């Protein structure tokens, strides 16, 4: 296995080619403004995005190679976001302008829990059900049909 050196700031979640079981190196932002990163081996098993009047809240969940769950939460408050001067010129592309998708601003927290039961209170109910399904079944199921 080779390691890659990042010369520029990594994305919110930076993944490299996963292995056959879906696990690979993952780098996530952490801390106020996402100024630090943490690295581990795992695979993404769920994500939730909620846009409110005050902020965009994103929860990402990863299953680590050792069986723990990493919960990265990002809160990007609108009051911290500055729109481009000429936002009216490209108003049809508003989703990209306000960072819906992969916004890289805001504050990030990372928490590690050791079981699905401990994860239940950390994520929205629908995301929890998705994660339970993803970890209970193979990533790829070959059907003999």
Total domains in the chain come to 1
- Alpha carbon 38 to chain centroid distance? 13
pLDDT at 138 over 60: yes
Residue 142 inside a domain? The answer is no
pLDDT for position 40:
95
What is the distance, to the nearest Å, from the Cα of residue 13 to the centroid of all Cα atoms in its chain?
A: 6
| pLDDT band (50, 70, 90) for residue 119 | very high
Q: What is the DSSP letter of 117?
A: H
Using CB atoms within 10 Å of the CB of residue 2, give its burial: 0 to 12 exposed, 13 to 18 middle, 19+ buried: exposed
Within a domain: 12: no
Q: What is the pLDDT of residues 20-66, one digit of tens each?
A: 677 899 999 999 988 899 999 999 999 999 888 998 899 999 999 99
79: in domain? yes
Residue 4, in any domain of the structure:
no
Would you say residue 86 lies in a domain? yes
Cβ partners under 8 Å of residue 30, min gap 6 = 36, 37, 38, 72, 108, 109, 110
Q: For the CA atoms of 89, 74, 20, 116, what is the dihedral angle to 10 degrees?
A: -140
Map residue 19 onto helix, strand or coil.
coil
Whether 145 is covered by a domain: the verdict is no
Structure confidence by residue, pLDDT tens digits, 72-118: 999 988 887 765 555 555 555 555 555 555 566 789 999 999 999 99
Q: Give domain status of residue 114, yes or no.
A: yes
**101, two tokens:** 């998708």
15 domain residue, yes or no: no
List strand residue ranges (DSSP E) for 12-127, in order. 13-15, 24-30, 36-51, 55-64, 69-77, 107-113
Report the C-alpha gap between 141 and 132 in whole angstroms: 16
Q: Identify the domain containing residue 130 by its residue range.
A: 44-136
């Amino acid at each position: 296995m080779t390691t890659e050196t990042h010369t520029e700031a990594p994305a919110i979640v930076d993944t490299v080619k996963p292995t056959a079981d879906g696990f690979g190196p993952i780098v996530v932002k952490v801390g106020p403004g996402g100024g630090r990163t943490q690295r581990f081996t795992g695979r993404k098993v769920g994500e939730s995005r909620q846009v409110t009047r005050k902020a965009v809240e994103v929860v990402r969940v990863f299953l680590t190679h050792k069986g723990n769950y990493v919960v990265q939460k990002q809160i990007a408050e609108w009051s911290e976001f500055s729109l481009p001067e000429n936002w009216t010129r490209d108003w049809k592309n508003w989703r990209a302008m306000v960072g819906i998708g992969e916004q890289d601003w805001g504050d990030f927290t990372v928490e590690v829990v050791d079981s699905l039961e401990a994860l239940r209170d950390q994520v929205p109910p629908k995301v929890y059900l998705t994660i339970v399904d993803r970890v209970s079944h193979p990533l790829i199921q070959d059907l003999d049909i």
